[in-house]
């Protein structure tokens, strides 16, 4: 059974799975991310693609170089590799996403940008 880990006030990450892929040097990491209304807006990037499926609520994504994108329960979004981005809960209650990362193995999974 997976346990939710608080990453910051209002931000919890629950590991679902992590496995090597058939593509050399790549792995898949899958998390449930719960984002409360008070969660911080943290600019960050990943060493590979992030494929998002919104489970509940509404989230606003800011990807560098693009206009903000709002996605709601049932919507999907892909964040390209190494793209600096941030997310905030813009709904009136809890929000959660299933985040699947196809990343380079051995690199830091998440890099915070100022």
The domain that contains 41 carries what CATH number? 2.60.120.10
**Number of domain units in the chain:** 1
Report the distance separating Cα 80 and Cα 90, nearest Å: 22
Residue closest to 98 by CA, chosen among 6, 9, 36, 17: 17
Average of per-residue pLDDT across 62-83: 97
What's the domain range around 79? 4-112
What does the block give as tokens for 111? 């890099």
How high does pLDDT run on average in the chain?
Answer: 92
pLDDT for 65: 95
pTM value > 0.85: yes
């Amino acid at each position: 059974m997976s346990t939710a880990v608080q990453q910051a006030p209002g931000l919890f990450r629950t590991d679902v799975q992590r496995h090597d892929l058939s593509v050399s040097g790549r792995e898949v990491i899958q998390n449930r991310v719960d984002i409360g209304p008070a969660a911080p807006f943290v600019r960050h990037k990943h060493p590979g693609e992030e494929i998002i499926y919104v489970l509940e609520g509404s989230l606003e994504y800011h990807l560098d170089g693009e206009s903000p994108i709002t996605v709601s329960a049932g919507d999907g979004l892909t964040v390209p590799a190494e793209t600096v981005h941030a997310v905030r809960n813009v709904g009136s209650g809890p929000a959660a996403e299933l985040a699947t990362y196809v990343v380079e193995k051995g690199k830091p999974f998440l890099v915070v940008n100022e």
